[in-house]
Structure formats: C-alpha cells, structure tokens
Structure 1
Amino acid sequence: MNIGKIETTEHAALTSRLGREHVADIVEFLNGKTAQEATEIVAHMPLQWSVEVLDQPHFRDACEVIEALPQDKAVALLEGMSADRASDVLRWIDAPARGHLRDALNADTRTAIDHLLTYPEGTAGALMTTEFVSVPANWTVKQTLDHIREVEHSRETVYAIFVLDPTTKRLVNTVSLRRLISGVPDAPILSVAHAYAPISVPATMPQEEVARAISKYDFLAVPVVDSTGHMLGIVTVDDVIDAMIEEQTEDVQRMGGMEAIDEPYLAIPFAEMIKKRAGWLCILFVSEMFTASAMQFFSDELEKAIVLALFIPLVMSSGGNSGSQATSLIIRALALQQVRLRDWWRVALRELPTGIVLGGILGIIGVIRITVWQQAGFFDYGDYWKLLAVTIGASLIGIVTFGSLAGSLLPFLLKRLGFDPATASAPFIATLVDVTGIVIYFSVAWLFLHGTIL
C-alpha cells in the first residue's frame, strides 16, 4: 500500500484503526514504514495523537517527520511535545531547517529548548524536562491539588510536586502525589512533604550517576538544580531507562569490536555498516599479524615438533575466553561503581588466583584428553606424550592466568587514560592474549621438551 497516495477515506479508516491502539503500538507500526510514509500518516492524525507519537523516544523517524511536515504543523507539534524530546529532535535536524523551526516557536518553548541544548549529551541537563509541577511552600494541600488540575495537561509528569521557597524560589522539599492526595485539604503543603532534605542532582551529572540516584532512592523523578539550589527541571525514570538502554547497546557493540550504531540493524545502509565494522576489523587483523610474527619466531620449534601445532588453537582460545570473561565482569563493575580505579590492585590480587585455578581446571582436562587419545589409540603423540601432556597443562595455567589479568586490568588502564572501558572489547583482548599466549606456550614447551623432541 502506497501511503503517499491513500485517499481521504483510506486516511480516515487508518486513523480510526490507529486510534484504538496504544501509542507504543502506533510507533511500532510507523517504524515499519518509510520516513515518507510515516510523515504522511502523522500529517493526517489529530494533533494530540501526533504529539504523543513524536514524544516517544522509540519513534525512529521523528526528525525526518518534523523536517518534512509544513512548518506550521511542525511548529505546533514541537510546541506540544515535552521540551526535552523537542530539543532532542531539533538537535539532529540540519542547521538551516533547525533555525527556521526554532525561530517560529513561541518564546517559552524556544527558551526551554535553547536551555536544554546547552547541556552536553549524556548529562542530567540534557535528559531533563522543564515541564514539572512546582508550588510555593506557603500553599495548602487544596491549593496544590487545584493547581495540578489546571496545569496537568501541559506537564510531562506529575510523579511528584516540588515545593519552592516563596521568596528565593529555591527547592525546599518534594511531595509525592500519593502523600498529597492523602493530606488534609487545609493543611500546609509542607505537612505532607518528606521529613528529609530534598535529594537532587546537578545538571552536569553523567546520566549513569543520575540512574544510580534514581535506583538508590526509588524515585520516579529526580529534581535537577543549579549551583544556587534553584530548580532547572526533572529527570524521569522513563527517560533514564531509554538513555541507559541506548548506552548499554553502544557498549555491547563496542565490546563486539565495532563502532556504535544508532539505527535498527535492518535500517542501516550497507555502506554505513561496512564503515562501522571495517575499521575495528582492520585494527584487529593487523594486531593478529603479531601472532603470525610470534609463530614465525618459533618456526624452528614447530618444524622439530609439529605435534605442538595441534594444540595452538586450544590454548589460544582458552586464554582469549578467560580474558573476555574478566573484561566483561570489570566493565560492568566499573559502570555500577562496584569497583573504582583505586581498586585495580585488589582486582589483580583476585584475578591472579582465579586465573591459576581456572587454568588448572582446563589443564587437567587437557592432560586427560591427551592421555585418553594416546591410550585408546585415537592418535599417537610419540614417545614423549606424557611430557607433551604436562606442557599443555602448564601452558593453559599460564595463558589463562595472563588472560584473566590482562582482561581485568585493561579496562582500568583505558578508564585512567580517559577512554570508554567498553573499548576493551572481547576481540581486542583475544588478540592481545593470542600474541602473548604464543610466547608463553612455546616458552613452556621449550622448558619441558628441551632435549627431547625440541
């Protein structure tokens, strides 16, 4: 069905059907259309429906729809959307069109959006919305409830009411909607406020810290204040969840050895996919060349004991797997602040015996495997097969231990240098362990097999 050519009756039927759907389902439906089709559908929706759809962070083509709509329609939608979502949409529209839309907005909306655009991405200021309910500290419960009824339609959320000093306008306390409803109408608003001082976050706080504060205090919204204690806005739990899902997605992609992408897999252009993946793949490939160089260095040993080559994939992959495990654990622990940079030595002391034990377990399995194959006649490893088994077991202990140490400490190093620890991707760790693992493997082999098959 070509949405761009739908007749008026078809538009009415489609609008009627979508009107019975939840806004999240409408967004999912629109995400399955092209940007042009989505624009046509949104253009024929009632204004309030369109605003709700565009307010959803998961609506993929919000920027394209706003840019393609007639200016008066686009401006009406931006003014109806929450300020933080409108600022996110405007942020990614090209400069000339963004300027025209901004200038056409009413003064209040323009000021709110300009204010939000000044904060860097990934901070509380960039996440917050300026649409919250605040009342003076000298109001009563009844006055506050009446005020909520008047302004509810223009506020993103009424999870909490923020009580301000009548004179200085600084944040004094917060009142949950539940406590407000249960309060005596003529009682002062502060009588139903929390007994403790208000908990707030600065506008420059990273979004990970904001999420941690919301989780710690079980908030649905946390106030954002400036250095003087005046409220700038609120960060809601749903905005934090959306931001953290996006952040976690980027981290997972980086750990997989590629640049982060911000589009659904099937929507990424082929050239963009190649661009995102080729860079890291080339870096890892060049790094693996050091593995080849290391093996060339030990080429004489390989010629004398070709049987050693049979176990190279086994011992190398074990070290890489151990390193990837440690990297994943430490990156997660750093993100949750379960460990800090100063704890690197504690992590090292923990991973050292862990690596030895894990390597010992794998070494025992390796020794058993060689013994069974030799005794059962599946393969003849030669007269010195017992020394070979010991070599494999000892190599696995050394390589797995090194992999665990390297995988756990590299995120600390990257964080200290100012890089994202997620850059310590599993492929990168695997490559590092491959190179050093070759050296460890043949060094152990020379130690145990020198004078026999070497």
Structure 2
Amino acid sequence: MLGNLIGPEIKELIEERNFAALREAFSDWAPADIGECLTEIPEDEQAIVFRLLPHAMATEVFEYLDTEAQEKILKAMGHIEAARILNDMSPDDRTALLEELPGAAVAQMLQLLSPEEKAVAQSLLNYPDGTVGRLMTPEFVTVRESWTIAQVLDHVREFGRDSETLNVIYVTDDHGRLIDDVRIREFLIRPTTTLVSEFRDHQFVALRATDQASAAYDLFKKYDRAILPVIDSEEKLLGMVTVDDILDIQEEVTTEEMQKMGGMEALDEPYTTIALPRMIKKRATWLIILFLSEMLTATAMQNYNEEIAKATVLAMFLPLIMSSGGNSGSQATTLIIRAMGVGEVRLRDWFRIMRKELLAGLSLGVILGLIGFFRISLWQFLHIFDYGQYHWVIALTVGVSLIGVVMWGSVTGAMLPFVLRRFGLDPAVSSAPFVATLVDVTGLLIYFNVARVILHGTLL
C-alpha cells in the first residue's frame, strides 16, 4: 500500500488540497512510513501535510524525521504547534534534535518547553557530547522488591503511560539506587501475591551516564539487550537507553570510519547537506598528503634511471607491481580495521596477525607471481610480444618481485592499524589509499633491487 499511495495518489491529493482524503489516507499508515513520505514531497508542502495528522501521531512521525526535516517543519509551524510537538517528544529524541541546532536556536526551542520538560532537556544537554547521558530518557518505571506483583501492576497502570517502554521494570532501593532490572514477562507469569524479592535474579547490566555512547554498543551486543539502565557514580538510576539510539550512534561511527578509510576526513554531516567548500576542505587535506607521498615514487625511480635505460622492458611492469602491492595492503588494512572495530582483534594480537598475514601474503604472492611468470612466457611463446633472448629471466624477475611486494603489502597493511592504535590514534586513518601509496614506494625498491640481482650479467 505504501508504494502505491506515496506516488501519484498522494501528490494528486496534495495538489487538489483534498485534506480530508489525505487525513484518511494517512490514518492507516505507520508513523515511520508517513515520515518517509514527508521527505519525498516538496519542502513547502511538508508542513501542510504534517498539520493534517492527529496530534499524537504527529509527534511520533516527527521523531522519525531526520534533523534537517525536523528543523524545517518547526520553522514552518507556529509557536503553539511547535511547543506542543517539542513537549510531547521523548527526551532522548528531543536532545538529538537540540544538539544539532545552533546555540541561538536551542535557546529559542527551550523557551517553548514547559518548566518540567525544560529542566529535563537542560539536564540531558549538560552531559558531554557523545556520552550515554545525551541518549538516555529519564522516563521509566521503578518498583520496590518488597512489593507484590499486584502492587507492581497497579503501579505500572498508574505511571507507565509516560515510560518510553515497559519491557523492563527497574527495582530500586529507598535511595533510588538500582538493584535489579526485571523483564515484564516475569511479572505476568506468576501469581499476583508473589513478592518481587522472591524471583528477581540479582543480576543486571548498567551503563554510566558518562560512558562513551560509541562503547555502549559492545555492551548491548554482548548481553543481547534491547534496553539498558543508566546510573550515576552512586548507582542511582537516572534513565534508560534503547538499542535504536545506540544503533544510530553506531551508524555514525561506521560512516566516519568508512569515510576515513576512503582517504579523507569524516564529513561530520550528511553528504547532501554539507556545504561544497567544507567538503572540498575535508577531501583536499588527504589528497594533498597522498599526492606528496606519491611524489616519493618519482624520487625513488630517479635512483634507477640507469637500470631503466638498460632494460626498458622493466618499465612495462611497473603498474603491475605497484598495483599488486597496493591492493594486497589495502585488503589487509581493511580487514584489520574492521576486525578491530567489532572487537575481534586487540593490540596484544599483533604478532599472531603479522604471522598470519606473512603466510597469507606469501601464498597470494606466489599465486600472482606464477601468473605473471607464465603470462610473460606465454606471450613470448605465442609471439604476441618479443621480450628478447632473456625473456625467461624477465619473467622470473617479475614473478619474484610480485611475491616480495604482495607479502610486504600484506604485512604493512595489517601492522599499520596496530601502530596507530598503540599511539592512541584512530586506526581508520590508515586508509586504503594511504597504505597503497606507502606500498607503492617500497614496492619500487623491491622490484628494482630484485631486478639488479636476477638480471645481473644479462640485461644489467
């Protein structure tokens, strides 16, 4: 149904200003689908369509929009409508919006909030950027371990409406310290006279409000949780974080790492909205560094002018040698950075990884070396190209060089992320283009020195 309605029908209803039909059409849609539809219609019509939604649904839809769309809709709405939306948003989603706005806009938005919601918003914004405190919602349900299940359920009916989720009920002491978290199913499968203390398992996992949000993903993954409580230094329960918020953060981290691995600075904002001068600046820095690094290749080749003059055939295989080493290095660094990112590889594993990549590089080098050797021999045999009377020596030079270059590229690409991590730097900056550039220069040295040894007394 979504695919059909999002097309000509919806556009036609908007053009005809048939608001009654639009409202009826959207009544059967999920909030996420309506949010997707809003992003696909012209900006000047988004606010018009948004106003047609019932208030409760409008807030849900608003939370599914990206920050840019949220800003535009708020600007197009009156103060009363905007205040209603902001006050009804879940605290964590509202914080995500506010932290993306300029300071002046944040101050203006805060003035639209009720005193209670303003205090909540300011308390969350007071946590450092990138911490769990910025992601949590302070809306949760707590019970005491001395209560019966009947008391718990009565409490949930009375106060659970404001909680973001009721999948987990938190057990606290008289001082508000978290002592357990219990899934709601545990309350539903037991007699109502059972005390909470009789079945709580005394085992729970909690985040600190000051923990880095990017690190919280590992905890969610390790314990297979959809929700985790957030506590302060005194173990007092402050709020909870849901996995959808953590996945959003993880997506941002992954995007930044991919951009860095592509040989540039992280954009820090969507590609479609970043200003052209900022994007050029982000990309130019690394391009200049890589360009200057590649100039070392020309410097290295200057030292082998004599060899190239005597055996011009060597120059034919330079792209082959350099690309093979760069490709193997790029493969290795990409694998290791990803393995580090998901926790498969740690600093202490460096020797095991080096030994593995040494063997992998040797094997891959032998495969490519044999292909290179037989390719030259076959072209000579079929008279496709005449490499001269020393064609087999040239083939051997290329084959041995490929073994050395691929093996060196694999080890270098694998070890560079370890070196960067050891010095507290982001391994993602050891991007594939950077590794390829580094291996290009060293690959030349390997190639021409192998040629000096093997071709000595023949072509050299």
Q: In structure 2, how many angstroms separate the alpha carbons of the residues matched to 1:39 and 1:296?
A: 64
Q: Which deviates more from structure 2 when the two are superposed, residues 283-292 or residues 310-319?
A: 283-292
Aligned in 2, Cα 1:300/1:67: closer, same or farther, shift over 3 Å? farther
Q: In structure 2, how many angstroms separate the alpha carbons of the residues matched to 1:217 and 1:305?
A: 63
Q: Which deviates more from structure 2 when the two are superposed, residues 307-316 or residues 134-143?
A: 134-143
Equivalent pairs, count: 451
Indicate the residue corresponding to 1:228 in structure 2.
234
Residues 391-450 of structure 1 deviation map (CA, whole Å, 9 limit, x = unaligned): 111111211121111111111222233332111111111111111111111111112112
Q: In structure 2, how many angstroms separate the alpha carbons of the residues matched to 1:318 and 1:7?
A: 58
Aligned in 2, Cα 1:448/1:125: closer, same or farther, shift over 3 Å? same
Aligned in 2, Cα 1:231/1:35: closer, same or farther, shift over 3 Å? farther
Asked if 1 retains the 8 angstrom alpha-carbon contact of 2:172 and 2:180, the reply is yes
Residues 329-369 of structure 1 deviation map (CA, whole Å, 9 limit, x = unaligned): 11112112222223223322222222122212211111111
Which amino acid letter does the alignment assign opposite residue 382 of structure 1? G
Q: Which deviates more from structure 2 when the two are superposed, residues 61-70 or residues 225-234?
A: 61-70
Asked if 2 retains the 8 angstrom alpha-carbon contact of 1:63 and 1:92, the reply is no
Residues 212-271 of structure 1 deviation map (CA, whole Å, 9 limit, x = unaligned): 211221111011111111112112112122221222122112211233345555555555
Post-superposition offset of 1:52 = 0.5
Q: In structure 1, how many angstroms separate the alpha carbons of the residues matched to 2:95 and 2:341?
A: 27
Residues 148-181 of structure 1 deviation map (CA, whole Å, 9 limit, x = unaligned): 233333221122111111x221001111022121
Aligned in 2, Cα 1:392/1:14: closer, same or farther, shift over 3 Å? same
Q: In structure 2, how many angstroms separate the alpha carbons of the residues matched to 1:38 and 1:192?
A: 51
Indicate the residue corresponding to 1:10 in structure 2.
18
Indicate the residue corresponding to 1:140 in structure 2.
148
Indicate the residue corresponding to 2:205 in structure 1.
199
Post-superposition offset of 1:132 = 2.0
Aligned in 2, Cα 1:417/1:114: closer, same or farther, shift over 3 Å? farther
Indicate the residue corresponding to 1:29 in structure 2.
37
Q: State the TM-score, normalized to the length of structure 1.
A: 0.92
Residue 180 of structure 2 is aligned to residue 168 of structure 1:
no
Asked if 1 retains the 8 angstrom alpha-carbon contact of 2:321 and 2:401, the reply is yes
Asked if 2 retains the 8 angstrom alpha-carbon contact of 1:373 and 1:379, the reply is yes
Indicate the residue corresponding to 1:75 in structure 2.
83
Post-superposition offset of 1:86 = 0.3
Among residues 103, 106, 109, which one is paired with 2:114 in the alignment?
106
Say which SS state the counterpart of residue 161 (structure 2) adopts: helix
Coordinate RMSD, CA, aligned: 2.5
Post-superposition offset of 1:35 = 4.5
Q: How does 1:343-422 map to 2 (within 5 A)?
A: 343-422=349-428
Indicate the residue corresponding to 1:290 in structure 2.
296
Say which SS state the counterpart of residue 233 (structure 1) adopts: strand
Aligned in 2, Cα 1:103/1:268: closer, same or farther, shift over 3 Å? closer
Say which SS state the counterpart of residue 222 (structure 1) adopts: strand
Aligned in 2, Cα 1:38/1:190: closer, same or farther, shift over 3 Å? farther
Which amino acid letter does the alignment assign opposite residue 370 of structure 1? I
Aligned in 2, Cα 1:65/1:262: closer, same or farther, shift over 3 Å? farther
Q: In structure 2, how many angstroms separate the alpha carbons of the residues matched to 1:309 and 1:392?
A: 11
Indicate the residue corresponding to 2:323 in structure 1.
317
Q: In structure 2, how many angstroms separate the alpha carbons of the residues matched to 1:418 and 1:38?
A: 46
Q: In structure 2, how many angstroms separate the alpha carbons of the residues matched to 1:406 and 1:68?
A: 54
Indicate the residue corresponding to 1:453 in structure 2.
459
Which amino acid letter does the alignment assign opposite residue 177 of structure 1? I
Q: In structure 2, how many angstroms separate the alpha carbons of the residues matched to 1:119 and 1:384?
A: 71
Post-superposition offset of 1:290 = 1.6
Which amino acid letter does the alignment assign opposite residue 135 of structure 1? V
Q: How does 1:237-256 map to 2 (within 5 A)?
A: 237-256=243-262
Which amino acid letter does the alignment assign opposite residue 55 of structure 1? E
Asked if 1 retains the 8 angstrom alpha-carbon contact of 2:405 and 2:443, the reply is yes
Question: How much identity, in percent, do the aligned residues show?
Answer: 44
Q: In structure 1, how many angstroms separate the alpha carbons of the residues matched to 2:287 and 2:26?
A: 44
Q: In structure 2, how many angstroms separate the alpha carbons of the residues matched to 1:397 and 1:209?
A: 40
Q: Which deviates more from structure 2 when the two are superposed, residues 365-374 or residues 118-127?
A: 118-127
Indicate the residue corresponding to 1:182 in structure 2.
189
Residues 66-91 of structure 1 deviation map (CA, whole Å, 9 limit, x = unaligned): 34432222222111111111011011
Which amino acid letter does the alignment assign opposite residue 198 of structure 1? F
Asked if 2 retains the 8 angstrom alpha-carbon contact of 1:199 and 1:223, the reply is yes
Asked if 1 retains the 8 angstrom alpha-carbon contact of 2:179 and 2:202, the reply is no
Which amino acid letter does the alignment assign opposite residue 161 of structure 1? I
Which amino acid letter does the alignment assign opposite residue 141 of structure 1? I
Indicate the residue corresponding to 1:48 in structure 2.
56
Q: Point out where structure 2 has 5 or more consecutive residues left out of the alignment.
A: 1-7
Among residues 96, 99, 103, which one is paired with 1:88 in the alignment?
96
Aligned in 2, Cα 1:51/1:180: closer, same or farther, shift over 3 Å? same
Asked if 2 retains the 8 angstrom alpha-carbon contact of 1:161 and 1:176, the reply is yes
Asked if 2 retains the 8 angstrom alpha-carbon contact of 1:27 and 1:59, the reply is no
Q: Point out where structure 1 has 5 or more consecutive residues left out of the alignment.
A: none
Q: In structure 1, how many angstroms separate the alpha carbons of the residues matched to 2:344 and 2:248?
A: 22
Asked if 2 retains the 8 angstrom alpha-carbon contact of 1:323 and 1:408, the reply is yes
Indicate the residue corresponding to 1:279 in structure 2.
285
Q: In structure 2, how many angstroms separate the alpha carbons of the residues matched to 1:431 and 1:374?
A: 32
Asked if 2 retains the 8 angstrom alpha-carbon contact of 1:183 and 1:192, the reply is no
Say which SS state the counterpart of residue 382 (structure 1) adopts: coil
Residue 437 of structure 2 is aligned to residue 443 of structure 1:
no
Say which SS state the counterpart of residue 55 (structure 1) adopts: helix
Indicate the residue corresponding to 1:126 in structure 2.
134
Q: In structure 2, how many angstroms separate the alpha carbons of the residues matched to 1:419 and 1:433?
A: 21
Asked if 2 retains the 8 angstrom alpha-carbon contact of 1:53 and 1:59, the reply is no
Asked if 2 retains the 8 angstrom alpha-carbon contact of 1:27 and 1:58, the reply is no
Q: Which deviates more from structure 2 when the two are superposed, residues 218-227 or residues 64-73?
A: 64-73
Q: In structure 1, how many angstroms separate the alpha carbons of the residues matched to 2:282 and 2:26?
A: 36
Q: In structure 2, how many angstroms separate the alpha carbons of the residues matched to 1:287 and 1:68?
A: 50
Residue 333 of structure 2 is aligned to residue 327 of structure 1:
yes
Aligned in 2, Cα 1:426/1:7: closer, same or farther, shift over 3 Å? closer
Q: Which deviates more from structure 2 when the two are superposed, residues 183-192 or residues 212-221?
A: 183-192
